[in-house]
Amino acid sequence: MKSSYRKSLENAARQTTLVQSADTLIKLILRIIVSNSKVKHAGIFLYDKERDEYVLKVSHGNSDFKIPSGFVKISRNNVLIRYFLDKKGEFSSDIILLREIDKLFELPKVKNDLAFREFIVELKNNLSLYQAQICIPGFFRKDLIFVLFLGNKVNLEGFGEEEIGFLTVLVSNIVMAIKNAWLVEDLNKQLQINKRLFLQTVSALTSSIEAKDKYTVGHTERVMKHCLVIVEHLKEDKRIFNEEKFKEDLRVSALLHDIGKIGISEKILNKKGPLTQRERKIIEKHPLTGVGILNHIEEFSEVLLGVKHHHERPDGQGYPCRLKGKQIPLIAAIIAIADTFDAMTVGRSYRDAVAPMDAVREIKKNKGKQFLPAVVNAFLKAYKY
């Protein structure tokens, strides 16, 4: 076995540990094996945990083997799987070589057992169906994770003992790489489940706020959608270091930006006339009240910036901290415009709704005063009325 061939396979196997998707990993592994082993095709029957079956993944190479990847599924009752899962040790080999399969007929326990002979015939037919010259199982403890099979070599040479031994070791590395990929996938699924549950909780919280104020039903959802439209036109802003993370924080912050209003009486929220100075002070406390409600959540450092500062103004006339210009966090500046646009176009207890075009004009007029110029520019690109 050539050392360069072995070394290239070892290097390739190490690369697989960095892949975190099982499907991507299998495609990479099969391409590596086809390329380095010089076989016409290779395939893996990979265990599907959810369906309790083995799904065929194929790399075609130069073969006329045309079964589409993922098209074939086999159960635990398939002879190929049963051969390797045999708990009684009826067959001594850890691999299957097509060239040696007929030797199984000579085993004493097979000669006089029709069921055994039929099993071997069926096994041989399966190998022929997949044009497999060799099959190697990938076990993790007692669990059969996959069965790797290789077709004919391009030069039609057979598989030597050293090569078979190395492929068996390589399979052990592949098993660990797949287990790692599965672990990452399971963690990501759990994170997605937790995220959905979290967003459902956020929606429930925002609904409880909106229930107090009949004029703001659907407000937070609309603000969130406006924010996500605006940020699409802010991609070149240097303050967005991780776009996906920023968008996720923006989504949550927009949904929760008014959560502090949960402690304000409906009488004030729904008042039709102008607010008194005392009532205005109560209203202006809602950003800090919101922060007080949410600040125990560690992952909310960015989210809290939007909740706390979405009423700040570049001219320093906002609240609660009288921030100026670029002191205002970008997440808060985006929410400020989205919040204002929705309030103007939907209306409030103290003000009728205006046409979207008029709202856009008003926001443009307050560029640099009430709203950050860069965010206004992005807003104007997004909303061309």
CATH number at residue 227: 1.10.3210.10
Regarding whether 126 and 51 lie in a shared domain, the answer is yes
Report the Cα 140 to chain-centroid distance in Å. Answer: 26
Give SS3 for 58: strand
Rounded Cα–Cα distance for residues 240 and 246 (Å):
7
Residue 352 in this model has a pLDDT that exceeds 70:
yes
Regarding whether 115 and 24 lie in a shared domain, the answer is yes
Q: Which residue has the higher pLDDT, 268 or 309?
A: 309
Q: Is residue 191 part of a domain?
A: no
Using N-to-C axis directions, what is the helix angle for 161-210 and 3-16, rounded to 10°? 10
- Which pLDDT value is given to residue 263? 72
Distance of CA 235 to CAs 222, 250, 282, Å? 21, 14, 36
Sign of the C-alpha dihedral computed for residues 162, 168, 174 and 180 taken in this order: negative
Contact 43, 57 (CB under 8 A): yes
Regarding whether 247 and 146 lie in a shared domain, the answer is no
Q: Which residue has the higher pLDDT, 338 or 165?
A: 338
Regarding whether 315 and 279 lie in a shared domain, the answer is yes
Among left, alpha and beta (phi > 0; psi -120 to 50; other), residue 214 is: alpha
pLDDT band at 92 (very low <50, low <70, confident <90, very high): low
Regarding whether 220 and 171 lie in a shared domain, the answer is no
| CATH, residue 120 | 3.30.450.40
Last residue of a domain, one of 118, 148, 182: 182
Regarding whether 295 and 265 lie in a shared domain, the answer is yes
- Which pLDDT value is given to residue 373? 94
Residue 332 in this model has a pLDDT that exceeds 60:
yes
Q: Is residue 260 part of a domain?
A: yes
Residue 305 in this model has a pLDDT that exceeds 80:
yes
Regarding whether 206 and 174 lie in a shared domain, the answer is no
- Which pLDDT value is given to residue 18? 57
- Which pLDDT value is given to residue 359? 93
Regarding whether 148 and 67 lie in a shared domain, the answer is yes
Distance of CA 135 to CAs 148, 159, 230, 235, Å? 6, 11, 55, 50
pLDDT band at 376 (very low <50, low <70, confident <90, very high): very high
- Which pLDDT value is given to residue 76? 92
Q: Is residue 134 part of a domain?
A: yes
For the residues 40-46, what does the mean pLDDT come to?
Answer: 91
- Which pLDDT value is given to residue 163? 84
Distance of CA 163 to CAs 5, 34, 189, 231, Å? 10, 14, 38, 55
Give the residue numbers spanning the domain of 237. 200-382
> What is the average pLDDT value for the chain, to the nearest integer?
83
Rounded Cα–Cα distance for residues 377 and 370 (Å):
13
Last residue of a domain, one of 117, 150, 182: 182
- Which pLDDT value is given to residue 234? 87
Least confident of 116-130, 261-275, 298-312, 336-350: 261-275
Q: Is residue 316 part of a domain?
A: yes
Q: Is residue 187 part of a domain?
A: no
Rounded Cα–Cα distance for residues 213 and 3 (Å):
75
pLDDT band at 367 (very low <50, low <70, confident <90, very high): very high
pLDDT band at 91 (very low <50, low <70, confident <90, very high): low
Residue 135 in this model has a pLDDT that exceeds 90:
yes
Tell me how many domains the chain contains.
2
Regarding whether 227 and 131 lie in a shared domain, the answer is no
Give the Cα-Cα-Cα angle 159, 141, 50 (nearest 5 degrees): 95
Q: Which residue has the higher pLDDT, 337 or 34?
A: 337
Contact 312, 257 (CB under 8 A): no
- Which pLDDT value is given to residue 175? 87
Last residue of a domain, one of 148, 182, 216: 182
Could you report the per-residue pLDDT of 181-235, keeping only the tens digit for each?
A: 887 778 677 767 776 777 677 777 776 666 666 556 688 889 999 999 999 988 7
- Which pLDDT value is given to residue 93? 62
For the residues 10-15, what does the mean pLDDT come to?
Answer: 58
Rounded Cα–Cα distance for residues 74 and 48 (Å):
10
Regarding whether 215 and 117 lie in a shared domain, the answer is no
- Which pLDDT value is given to residue 150? 92
pTM of the model: 0.54
Could you report the per-residue pLDDT of 246-259, keeping only the tens digit for each?
A: 998 999 899 889 88
Regarding whether 328 and 301 lie in a shared domain, the answer is yes
Regarding whether 246 and 167 lie in a shared domain, the answer is no
Q: Is residue 365 part of a domain?
A: yes
Distance of CA 276 to CAs 91, 273, 279, Å? 89, 9, 5
Q: Is residue 168 part of a domain?
A: yes
Q: Is residue 189 part of a domain?
A: no
